Chains A and B, each alone.
Chain A
Amino acid sequence: MNWISQIVAVAIFNLRTIPNRKGSAITTVVGIAGVVAVFVGVLSIAEGFRAAMTVSGSDDVVIVLRSGADSEMNSGLSREETRLIADVPGVARNAEGALLSSELFVMVNLPKRSTGTDANVPLRGVGKEAASVRHNIQIVSGRMFELGRNEVIAGAGAARSFAGLDVGNKLRVGQNEWEVVGVFTGGGGSAESEVWTDAAVLQPAYNRGDTFQSVYAKLTSPDSFVQFRDALAANPQLKVKALLQKEYLAEQSKALTSFIETVGVGITALMALGALFGALNTMYSAVAARTREIATLRAIGFGASPIVFSVLLESVALAIVGGVAGAAGAYFALDGFQTSTINFQTFSQIAFAFTVTPQLLAKAILWAAAIGMLGGLFPAIRAARLPISTALRET
């Protein structure tokens, strides 16, 4: 038997009857569009956050922490240790010495532009090579801070989010006054959410003595990482560990991205349940409305499977229409939308953009199709099981 053309024929005239059932069909489509929009929306936050955290990470930049520390927050290094690290083979050099920046940071409170309430911003003390160690650091307005002075430059994300981070403005933080002399970008990375100053100025201002928390170093090439790491491990005077910046940042963003993903999937699952019942309802009423048509087809000799498939196909088609609408809506409304959130590891504000990736869209539409499939399954089975002679009596 011509099975495929049976299915196609039945499915096509099912689809053509949708205009007669506009109301419930639209409810299903809208419900599923909503699920998909929320799914894409929430997960694009996670994507954007992950991107913000890792985009600046390169594989020829290492970060050195005290062994046992899992973030800069709980790491500590003496000046002596930072000197020893500078001498380890694998570190890139220029005419003035090793391309390395010994850094520390403190959290400061600044009012947000949007709400006026205070939030944490990392104030990072860096060495004079900080910008050459990292990639993509660029002053976009004002100038670089001068060594030895109470001057700061603000990351573009931080400057956008926090009041007072305008070039020329003076900030009072605790006992200290800082002048904002420039704004920098860092390729969308986490540095953009920070404020930088000279490490040598930050140390006394926060009674840090002559200690640091991390060393950022540029490698001669990505391949020298193993050599560098092994040389550090071989030095008995150093109790430190080295991580590629990329890995470090990915590690740092993991807690929040997986939290967002869990919450996102949870919310979406609840909404999906609602949409599933919507789809079930739509398809049950579609089957009920067509009882006599289905019975007539069966009387003519159509098998049960074309009936099942055509109901499923209709349900999946409606769901995909909803999925595409929701995904498109989320994409146009959210992609690139700038916002910020708290990084749970440092409790500092991280600026990021919603990032709607093609994979995310595809995943969302697949979910929509799955809802359609599930929502159509039981009505389809009911349609196929209708006793023909009874169903033919229905008017």
Chain B
Amino acid sequence: MSTGQEVLVRVENVEKTFRRGSEEVHVLSGMNLDVPSGEFLALMGPSGSGKTTLLNLIGGLDRTTTGSVKIGSERLDQMSDRQLAAWRARHVGFVFQFYNLMPALNAERNVELPLLLTHLSRAQRKRHVQTALEVVGLSHRAKHYPRTLSGGEQQRVGIARAIVTDPTLLLCDEPTGDLDRKSGDEILSLLQALNQDQGKTIVMVTHDPHASNRATRTVYLEKGQLSAEKPE
């Protein structure tokens, strides 16, 4: 990728501690991570190692205990809740393991949701929704409700929703975790295409070596620290 040199995500000296009653749980300690623009990064590690926690920090869904998270030129740790919400709407797309679609809305309405946070007209929104559904290959399912779609199709709706605002960064938390091998592979191909053809920077949490093989780089999280090698 031509834009591959700039750093898009910079996580610096991040600590994250949760309180569970009187007990403190140190999940991330002194964590550093740079994600260059245009990278498709796979984040692996055992269950409970803090992968989701790290992803949420990068996505502005949670705050660091100490340390900074910088996306492009913006410091997430210095933003107010309101600023963070507006920032998320413009710059990130989330893809969830269980799709998190609104059961009461059909596919195109689900995909349209992030566009309600923009100034686009109804007609413009419709066009963007159509494009996003085309990209994921689901135009023919636009009027379907989530419960009438297969898991793979639901996840494609989820991806369409994540890319409909054309964000720079896609954050995927085990996007194939709930899918069979074949549907999972289709989703991975789709993510790969988004990365290669549209230059999306992707951070994907996964347990599946199959999935991480599609990424341009894989990092491992264990005991609050990252490493480039799979720990023994």
Q: Which residues of A contact B (CB under 8 A)?
A: 1-2, 5-6, 9, 13, 16-17, 20, 292-293, 296-304, 387-389, 392-393, 395
Of the listed stretches B68-76, B82-90, B190-198, B221-229, name the one at the interface; the rest are far from the partner chain.
Answer: B82-90
A389 x B62 contact (CB < 8 A): yes
Residues of A within 8 A of B98 (CB): 395
Q: Nearest chain-A residue to B162 (Cβ)?
A: A300
Contacts A2-B118, A388-B62 given; does A300 touch B113 at CB 8 Å: yes
A5 x B116 contact (CB < 8 A): yes
B85 x A298 contact (CB < 8 A): yes
Residues of B within 8 A of A303 (CB): 82, 85
Q: Which of B78-98 contact A (CB under 8 A)?
A: 81-82, 85-90, 94, 96, 98
Q: Is B61 an interface residue (CB 8 A)?
A: yes
A297 x B113 contact (CB < 8 A): yes
Q: Nearest chain-A residue to B113 (Cβ)?
A: A300
Residues of B within 8 A of A389 (CB): 52-53, 56, 61-62
Q: How far is the CA of A225 from the CA of B86 in the complex (A)?
A: 72
A interface majority secondary structure: helix
Q: Which of A298, A301, A304 has the most CB of B within 10 A?
A: A301
Q: How far is the CA of A303 from the CA of B100 in the complex (A)?
A: 18
Q: How far is the CA of A300 from the CA of B52 in the complex (A)?
A: 16
Residues of B within 8 A of A395 (CB): 98
Q: Is B105 an interface residue (CB 8 A)?
A: yes
Q: Is B102 an interface residue (CB 8 A)?
A: yes
**Chain B positions 95 through 139: 1 when the CB is less than 8 Å from some CB of chain A, otherwise 0:** 010101011110001000110111100000000000000000000
Q: Is B199 an interface residue (CB 8 A)?
A: no
B interface majority secondary structure: helix
Minimum-distance CB pairs A-B, first 9: A301-B89, A16-B104, A389-B62, A296-B100, A13-B104, A301-B88, A389-B56, A388-B61, A389-B61
The total of chain B residues at the interface (CB under 8 A) is 30
A300 x B89 contact (CB < 8 A): yes
Partner of A17, one of B61, B86, B104: B104
Q: Nearest chain-B residue to A290 (Cβ)?
A: B102
Q: Nearest chain-B residue to A8 (Cβ)?
A: B116
Q: Nearest chain-A residue to B120 (Cβ)?
A: A2
Residues of A within 8 A of B56 (CB): 388-389, 392
Q: Which of A5, A17, A392 has the most CB of B within 10 A?
A: A392
Given A293-B100, A296-B96, A388-B61; 20 other pairs, CB 8 A cutoff: A6-B116, A13-B105, A16-B105, A17-B104, A292-B100, A299-B59, A300-B113, A301-B87, A301-B88, A301-B90, A302-B85, A302-B117, A303-B82, A387-B62, A389-B52, A389-B56, A389-B61, A389-B62, A392-B56, A392-B61
Q: Nearest chain-B residue to A391 (Cβ)?
A: B61
Residues of A within 8 A of B88 (CB): 299-301
Residues of A within 8 A of B114 (CB): 300-301
Q: How far is the CA of A13 from the CA of B102 in the complex (A)?
A: 8
